[in-house]
Each structure stands twice: as structure tokens, then as C-alpha cells.
Amino acid sequence: MSNPLYQRIYDVVRHIPRGCVATYGQVATVVGATTTAREVGEAMAALRDTQPTPPVPWQRVINAQGKVSTGPHQQHLLEQEGVVFNAKGHTDLQRFGWRGPDPAWAAAHGFALLNEVNTEKPQLDLFGR
């Protein structure tokens, strides 16, 4: 697509590392203030017909509930990359969730970072032990 907005969305998705997942909302936040999760979904849907080059790792974009939105195939692709899902199809966003783009890259291309949530999290030892 020559669509500028979609190109920006694809650029961001291409920066999600292997073995990580990002939510539609996260991608929307990075792309820009007016961009919504719905538009990210639209941009991903457009890939069903035409795959741009370089390819976009669309499977790494999932919904805010930690589940895939398109069916078992997407989950399978992620599992091959090392992402773990439980029996109900949920993944742990704290563990596999994307922490945001490289700050230098984001600044160079005019993208935002993922503020809020992360940074310092309380040391609740509720997983692992």
C-alpha cells in the first residue's frame, strides 16, 4: 500500500522483536496520538491480501487481553518464536509483551514511546515462586 498511515504502522510492527508480542493499542500509541487500535487492526487486515516488502510480522500484534485475534494459526506462529500460551489461549504480557521501540529510532522517525505502565514495577514475587 502507498497509504502513509499504514506504512508508519508497518514500520512500527517491523520493530517488534522476535519472541515478543505487542497489543494493537501499543502500536497505535507509538504511531501517533490520533491513531487508534482499530486502525492498526485495519492495517493488519490489509496484509491478508497484499504483503509488502520487507514483510511485516503481523502475528506479533495481539489484543489487549493477551490473546490472538485471528485464530489458532497466529498462535502457532508465535509459539514457534518462543511465546508461551496457556490452555485458554492467554499469554503473559508482562513477560512477552513489547516494551516499546528503541528510543533513538523512535526519535529519528517521529514515533512515540510507551510511557506509563512499565519502568519500575513492584517486586511482587507472584510468578516463578
- List interacting residues with DNA (CB under 7 A): 3-6, 23-25, 34-42, 44-45, 47-48, 58-59, 61, 63-65, 69-70, 74, 88, 90
Q: Which is nearer to DNA, 6 or 96 (CB)?
A: 6
CA–CA separation, 105 vs 1, rounded Å? Answer: 23
Q: How far is the CB of 71 from DNA (least distance, A)?
A: 9
Q: Which three cell numbers stand for residue 119?
A: 519502568
CB of 70 to DNA, least distance (A): 5
Using the minimum distance from each CB to DNA, give the nearer residue, 4 or 123.
4
Contact of 64 with 22, CB cutoff 8 Å = no
The CB-of-87 to DNA minimum distance in angstroms stands at 11
Question: Residue 21: which residues within 8 A CB-CB, separation 6 or more?
Answer: 60, 61, 62, 78, 83, 91, 93, 96, 97, 98
